[in-house]
Homo-oligomer: A and B are copies of this chain.
């Protein structure tokens, strides 16, 4: 689980970060609101833990801005500003939970888990994304760089499989099993042909291709470095 902690007080930041790391999370740290916003916008996090009294950009404004961009990453406010009005303000601004300092670490963890539990169980993925390529599973359409791409059923299945294994090499055998449901080798180049057709739709005309062939093994879908 990837977390972003936005907190300017070094002592609190260190304490929380260490605790969360021990619990097995990957924790990034931002020391002011400006940095926090930039990092939150640049990387996909599972949860943001946000202080309110931050230098450069306060936590409340940060969350409002983020929500304004359509980002719906869960936010947990962790702050000393604990009056009822302040708590309401934080939740109304788009926060999902609000915990006041001083706090018990065990409660922070329980609240983080509760947010995460709901998010993962309640939401089957409906959009796959790799670099600037998006695949909408419900409408069965692909989009690259904002441009809509029509896919035939088999091409869709192939791309979905590649995207679900983005960054991993996918062997021909895997493709035959999972995309074609062949449990034998058809002794033909079906795969090559469909990869070629898919490439012509999603890579043709773009400077950096996403589909790469791994000679003797298979293919990878990988975001350009």
Contacts and interface: CB of A to CB of B under 8 A. Distances in A.
A214 to B, nearest CB: 29
A97 B97 CA distance: 8
Interface string A97-131: 10000001011001101100011011110100000
A144 interface: no
Given A119-B122, A124-B126, A138-B126, A88 B107 contact: yes
- Indicate how many identical chains form the complex: 2
Contact of A87 (B72, B107, B138): B107
A118 B96 contact: yes
Contacts of A137: 138
A72 B114 contact: no
Interface in A36-84: 72, 74, 84
B72 A121 contact: yes
Query: Looking at chain A's contact residues, is the secondary structure mostly helix, strand, loop, or mixed?
Result: helix
Size category, A interface: 20 to 34
B126 A110 contact: no
A153 B126 CA distance: 19
Interface of A: 72, 74, 84-85, 87-88, 91-92, 95-97, 104, 106-107, 110-111, 113-114, 118-119, 121-124, 126, 137-138, 153
